[in-house]
Amino acid sequence: MDKEKLTLTPQGDDSEFYKQVADLLAAARNFVKQQLDTTIVTTYYEIGRMIVEREQQGQKRAKYGASLIKGLSEYLTEQYGRGFSVVNLKSIRKFYQVYAPSKGQSLTAISEKKEKIDSLISVFDAAAQKGQTLTAQFRLSWTHYQILMRIENEAARRFYEIEATSQQWSVRQLQRQVGSSLYERLGLSRDKEKVMALAKEGQTVESPRDIFKSPYVLEFTGLEERAEYSESDLEQALIDNLQKFLLELGKGFLFEARQKRFSFDEKSFYVDIVFYNRLLQCYVLIDIKVAELKHQDLGQMLMYINYFDRYVKQTFEKPTIGILLCSQKNDNIVELTLPEDSNIYASAYSLYLPDKALLQCKLAEWVKEFEDGHGDDGE
């Protein structure tokens, strides 16, 4: 009996046929999930709007609002079962309160023909009858938005929403990026003019500096800050957690090699980790230094880059980029050693999540300085 249940290995053309069927099913399931997520989030937004507008009709808003949500919770739980506790309904109300001001108006879902419909009930019925799908402003799951709506800074919230949508971050990946203060770290690593664009466009990769951030957060390695570890230990931990390391590096990175060997003048040299960035069309070399960064380290990276540019890079590819990850960075040494147009970047790394409040304050001060200076220029 057990032998009859064994799956036969497809032979010849059947293998490709089976894969095509499996791919179709996977695409269909993904499509259904996206439509379900959109429908749920759209509905919750409208429920939040209805609650807020109903509460505003009461003379004693706080007392009335509490009783309204409690009564609604009991009614919906009786009608539909779990999922409509007082806590959840308050979260749904907050979702509308957070997103309504930034969106400018209450969401009215629309069909593919862009016909405005007075109520979601009409939209759902019409879509079902005509076989249409809904298009709406929300592209992520409800769990994603539960994370996003807790972000008080509207610019940061918009940035994470754009990136989570375009990069298809899972809920866990979004949690990690928010927890590691990605928005603040990218902002502090950019020209002040580009900070404002993060909330409108997300992370754009057009130049080598666009892939750089400071510090790099490597908490996923599991190494302790105070413990003694070698460069090979950290390198191994990064390779063991390559997917998470790629997430931290950002857009467009492809892993090529570890301890990439090349020979020159009868001597062998090894680059710790080599990546390729498909958006910039160039190699990215990473060297790890667990001690304080020295000018010799910068000179070594410069030699690595020169070798790749002269003997590895193709004519259609852009100049190689070098990143030194170091536990301690001396900006004065970097500035004195490297030419101004260098493609080498030195960044400190951290084995624990950064102090979000501190980074937020630094970024706010930076933005304020930029806005004040921009205002003066315009006068």
Q: Is residue 368 part of a domain?
A: no
Same domain, 169 and 129: no
Percent of the chain topping pLDDT 70 = 80
50 or 103, higher pLDDT = 50
pLDDT at position 221, please? 94
pLDDT at position 37, please? 84
Structural domain count of the chain: 2
Instruction: Give the C-alpha separation, 258 to 215, whole Å.
Output: 22
Confidence of residue 148 (pLDDT cuts 50, 70, 90): very high
| φ, ψ of residue 128 in degrees (nearest 5) | -65, -40
CATH code (residue 177): 3.40.1350.10
Q: Is residue 102 part of a domain?
A: yes
Q: Is residue 12 part of a domain?
A: no
What digits encode the pLDDT tens for the residues 174-209? Answer: 999 999 999 989 888 776 667 778 888 888 888 888
Per-residue pLDDT, averaged over 143-157, amounts to 93
For the chain, the first-to-last Cα distance in angstroms comes to 86
Residue 264's DSSP bridge partners are 267
The residue among 143, 165, 194 that closes a domain is 143
Q: Is 76 exposed, middle or buried (0-12, 13-18, 19+ CB in 10 A)?
A: middle
Q: Is residue 365 part of a domain?
A: no
Same domain, 120 and 190: no
Closest CA relative to residue 331, chosen from 199, 203, 215, 165: 215
Asked whether the predicted pLDDT for residue 57 surpasses 90, the reply is no
Residue 325's DSSP bridge partners are 288, 347
Q: State whether residue 202 is helix, strand or coil.
A: coil
213 or 128, higher pLDDT = 213
Same domain, 165 and 249: yes
- What is the helix (H) or strand (E) element at residue 347, kind and residue range? strand 344-350
Q: Which of 88-92, 98-102, 211-215, 369-373 has the lowest mean pLDDT?
A: 369-373
pTM of structure: 0.76
Same domain, 274 and 177: yes
Same domain, 129 and 264: no
Same domain, 137 and 248: no
Neighbour tally for 206: CB within 10 Å: 10
Same domain, 44 and 190: no
Closest CA relative to residue 34, chosen from 168, 174, 160, 178: 168
Q: Is residue 191 part of a domain?
A: yes
Q: Taken in order 32, 36, 37, 42, is the CA torsion positive or negative?
A: positive
pLDDT at position 96, please? 93
DSSP one-letter string for 66-100: HHHHHHHHHHHHHHH-SS--HHHHHHHHHHHHHHH
Residue 131: domain span: 22-143
Instruction: Give the C-alpha separation, 157 to 249, whole Å.
Output: 20
Confidence of residue 75 (pLDDT cuts 50, 70, 90): very high
Same domain, 184 and 106: no
Per-residue pLDDT, averaged over 214-218, amounts to 90
Same domain, 46 and 193: no
Same domain, 339 and 196: yes
Closest CA relative to residue 220, chosen from 246, 196, 199: 246
Same domain, 138 and 249: no
